[in-house]
Amino acid sequence: MFTYLIETLEEITLSQLNIFIDGSWLYKACSPGLVLASKTENLDRGVRIDFSKLNKSLLNHVKKSDNNCKSISDLYLSTSLFSLPNDFDSWPDEYDFILPEQVEKTKKGLFARSKFVQSALDSGYSGDAIYRPLIRTWILEKLVQNRYQEKQVDTTVVALLVRSAITRSNDYHCVITGDSDILPAIKVAYPQYSKNVFVATTYPDELKAEHRQTAFSLGSFEFNIPAFYLQDHLAEIIQGEYIYTCAHCYKIFTRLRPIPVHARPCCSGCNSLRT
């Protein structure tokens, strides 16, 4: 009887981890030339996240503060995936301000983002927060000018997380974002955020000044669970079977075959400098 009561109490105190991703921000953070790519051997290539590995790494992060958090529960990724009209390829013929290369670039970008989203869905993330608006000419113009903003993604992430944090107050809730506007909104809607909400983001030492400012803004919030910095865990969350840290420059790289056990791992850049 005593053993049964102990087991029951353990079950009652167990918590789960719920993860909410600002997919538009994370997709951009993984893009060529940005901060995550700068930690790999190929700055000009995007970083491919293994979402199952990401979930596991986040859960291990929470366990350092509360070992009673044993499993993953709700998984949401919010972003926009544009639907293309049937006549999209003919837009350069119909509109003087649209160029053929802009159409091709948009199609390639949509294909890449679709693969990113599908990877998350294959790892158990819900597709309920993925928007699929029909692309319009004015949207394409803003995309070309890098002025298009997906505000509905921000508000969706906040709404989903706050609802989960209130209804599942014994759980932990992670928001993956680099948008400094999200946390003030969470704080207003859920003042108790610090006890069971934490953020996964990038370091304040970003390559671009505007990103550094955002990272510092996120870091100014106090959490019981410390922030999870993606750069620190890149080797844990990147896609690939054989993942290494270069012994010389400490860049992350992957290989199709394992490096011999007694050989020091060396990235392509450092290997090319060998004489």
pLDDT in tens, 156-192: 999 999 999 999 999 999 999 988 778 888 888 888 8
Q: Mind listing the pLDDT tens digit for each residue in 45-56? A: 999 999 999 999
The pLDDT of residue 180? 75
Amino acid present at 160: L
Does residue 233 have a pLDDT over 70?
Answer: yes
Domain coordinates in residue numbering, the chain: 16-239, 242-275
Tell me what the mean pLDDT of segment 200-211 comes to: 63
Mean pLDDT value across residues 78-98? 94
Do 67 and 139 touch, CB atoms closer than 8 A? no
Cβ 173 vs Cβ 197: under 8 Å: yes
Q: What is the pLDDT of residue 46?
A: 94
On whether the pTM is more than 0.95, the answer is: no
| pLDDT tops 80 at residue 11 | no
User: Alpha-carbon distance 15 to 70, whole Å?
Assistant: 6
For 129, residues 6+ apart whose C-beta sits below 8 A from its C-beta are 76, 77, 78, 79, 156, 157, 160
Gap between the Cα atoms of 52 and 119, Å rounded: 9
pLDDT band at 219; cut points 50, 70, 90:
low
Query: What is the C-alpha separation between 94 and 87, in angstroms, rounded?
Result: 10
- Examine the pLDDT at 81 and tell me if it is beyond 90: yes
**Given a cut of 50, is residue 6 above it in pLDDT?**
no
**pLDDT band per the 50, 70, 90 thresholds, residue 5:** very low
Q: How confident is the model at residue 8 (pLDDT cuts 50, 70, 90)?
A: very low
Weakest-pLDDT range from 180-189, 208-217, 230-239: 208-217
**Domain 16-239, CATH 3.20.20.70 — does that match?**
no
